Amino acid sequence: MGNKSFDLSCSLRKEEDNLSPFVRKLFKEWDDRKARGLFHHDISSCETKVLPGEHNFVATLIEGRDQKKRPTQFGMNQVLQPFDSAKFNFTKVSPEEVIFTFEEAQNDSVKYFDNVPHAVAASPTAILINVSPIGYCHVLLIPRIQDCLPQRVDKESFLLAMYVASEAKNPFFRVGYNSLGGFATINHLHFQAYYLKVQYPVEKAPTEKLTTLGNGVSIIQLVQYPVSGFVFEGGACLEDLSDVVSKVCIFLQENNKPFNALISESGKRVFLLPQCYAEKQALGTASQEFLDMRINPAVWELSGHLVLKRRKDYDEASEATMCRFLVEASLSESEFQELKSCILEFLSSAAPEE
């Protein structure tokens, strides 16, 4: 089978009747910002293809994206770092980049977050465009934007991200998180989301159940996928699932373990992917082949959507090469087994909150 190319832009005419009010507003406002010329590149003109093979990785060519996007302004060796107001943060963006804040959405005729608990909905949270998008409707979710929180997961912010995924009511609109050391580039608490009408390779990877917790949340591990990671699903409600995942995220960041999280299937499944690529870069043990390609293995890349910056790499992209890169970014088998034991022990000692 040859490479299958497709358009990253979204045809609203085909799906208008199936869009939730929240996604309909996002699409409309994002298209408006595109018409104003606020993006560093036109994502609809960027070449994208599905690579043939077992996983069907998605490759997108955005030449020079790493030179145009906002630069990383902190060390990659510490997952937890204090907020630094002297460096770029999202309070400094142009007002035109703000799609809406939740207070504004709550006052609209259609309330997009009716089901969000008051403590979450009342926070001054903003959704901004990502000026360097890798997909259609690529946005940033900034919890309590004026509080200038550093890039670290807490229980409330992760629940907020889960509600955004749930409110989208669309399996092709996912929410992602990158820790520091996991290729977040701004140390100001944020999640990302965009629309890609294809199943991510990680979403269709085989899995193996490890255990089910008392609140009904199942802990699962990926198998036969180049990135070692966990899948969380189940529970009586969204809060149950979010609570377990946020606890594990907090455990990882407090132990200085970089990770990426993908909220999938409108909040019904969460993939948690620990990684070590930044550490390999710092130690000088990363492959020169992949350093030259300048791929940053953030949540989207680890999930199977790889952004390439050079025409040569895009034209020559293959499943074998992408697998080798993802294996290099992932923990080794022994490292993953040790981390898995630590996480399961931690969860067994952390009883679910009533």
The residues carrying an active-site annotation are 190
| Order of strands across the sheet that contains 58-61 | 4-5, 48-50, 58-61, 305-308
Provide CB contacts within 8 A for 124, sequence distance 6+: 101, 102, 103, 144, 145, 146, 147
Q: What is the largest CA-CA distance in the chain?
A: 55
Residue 305 β-bridge partners: 58
Rounded to whole angstroms, the Cα distance separating 317 from 285 reads 23
The candidate with the shortest Cα–Cα distance to 57, out of 351, 326, 332, is 326
**What is the torsion angle, in degrees rounded to the nearest 10, for the CA atoms of residue 278, residue 284, residue 287 and residue 288?**
110
The residue count for the chain: 354
Helix axes 333-349, 238-254, angle to 10 degrees: 120
